[in-house]
Amino acid sequence: MKNQMIKVYKDLMGQNSLWAEKIRLILKESKVTMINLIGSPGCGKTSLLEKMTTLFPGKRDFAVLEGDVETTHDAERLNALGVPVSQLLTSGACHLEAKMVYHALIDLPLPSLKLVIVENVGNLVCPAEFDIGEHAKVAVLSVTEGEDKPVKYPLLFREAKAVVLTKIDLIPHLSFNKDACLNYIKQVNGTVPVFEISSLSGDGVHSLVEWIYSL
């Protein structure tokens, strides 16, 4: 049989780009910036969002889309603080796709928002491959993960417009070499800004938020 077409995988990626394009249009029309937060499981993405909320109690111009394989734990944590939040459950998938993000995005109160933060599924590999129409991918790396993750998972760190180094309050208890880590980041992305933060003390969170709102 001639002219058989096998197109499953390519189509999926093509479809994703179409949805990402729709997201870009909506964000442009509503003048909303969208950030795609990507990091390992337990690297402190949700804790950072909690700290952003409690440090700026009056600030209610941002919403969160929580990506998880299962559970609504993270959305519940932010909902308890009064942040508009939706939970996106991938039911097994290792990353968020643009179609899912699109449907959650159009349900948000966009006219009252300046910023949407997407917390992707905890994973340093797959989410970096998917365009979800964001203005910036932000790589989140915890000091407990060791220095060399930027070179071991280079795609994310190459794609990122900023790197957030979390849990710096734990450095005294670790053998973590911060300079080595910063060098590894530089190795894959020479000019990317790095924000060193502690969501426990709040150190560094102001500068990060300032940078995000300047996008």
Q: How far is the CB of 201 from a second copy (least distance, A)?
A: 13
**Closer residue to a second copy in complex, CB, 23/128:** 128
Across 150-188, b (16+ Cβ under 10 Å) vs e yields beebbebbebbbbbbbbbbeebeeeebeeeebbebbeeb
For the chain, the 3-state helix, strand and coil shares in percent, each to the nearest 5, are: 45, 20, 40
User: Rounded to whole angstroms, how far apart are CA atoms 177 and 175?
Assistant: 6
DSSP result, 89-132: E-TT-SS--HHHHHHHHTTS-GGG-SEEEEE--S-SSGGGG---
Q: How far is the CB of 25 from a second copy (least distance, A)?
A: 30
Tokens of 206: 């102001």
29 near a second copy, rule: CB under 8 A: no
Contact call for residue 82 and a second copy (CB under 8 A): no
The reply to whether 6 sits near a second copy by the rule CB under 8 A is yes
| CA–CA distance, 127 with 36 (Å, rounded to integer) | 9
146 is a contact residue toward a second copy (CB under 8 A): yes
Report in angstroms how near the CB of residue 65 gets to a second copy at its nearest. Answer: 16
Total chain residues near a second copy (CB under 8 A): 41
| Residue 179 contacts a second copy per CB under 8 A | no
Residues between 58 and 77 with contacts to a second copy, criterion CB under 8 A = 68-71, 73
- Does 159 contact a second copy by CB under 8 A? no
Token pair 């989410």 is found at 127
* Residue 214 binding a second copy, by CB under 8 A: no
Q: Site residues for a second copy, window 185-204 (CB under 8 A)?
A: none
Q: Are 113 and 35 in contact (CB under 8 A)?
A: no
Phi, then psi, of 194 in degrees rounded to 5: -120, 125
Which C-beta is closer to a second copy: that of 134 or that of 145?
145
Shortest reach from residue 120's CB to a second copy, in Å: 12
> Which x/- pattern over 118-137 shows residues binding a second copy (rule: CB under 8 A)?
---xxxxxx-----------
Q: What are the b/e assignments for 78-92, b being 16+ CB within 10 Å? A: bbeeebbbbbbbbee
Interacting residues toward a second copy by CB under 8 A: 1, 3-9, 40-43, 68-71, 73, 92-94, 121-126, 142, 144-146, 148-149, 151-155, 167, 170, 173-174
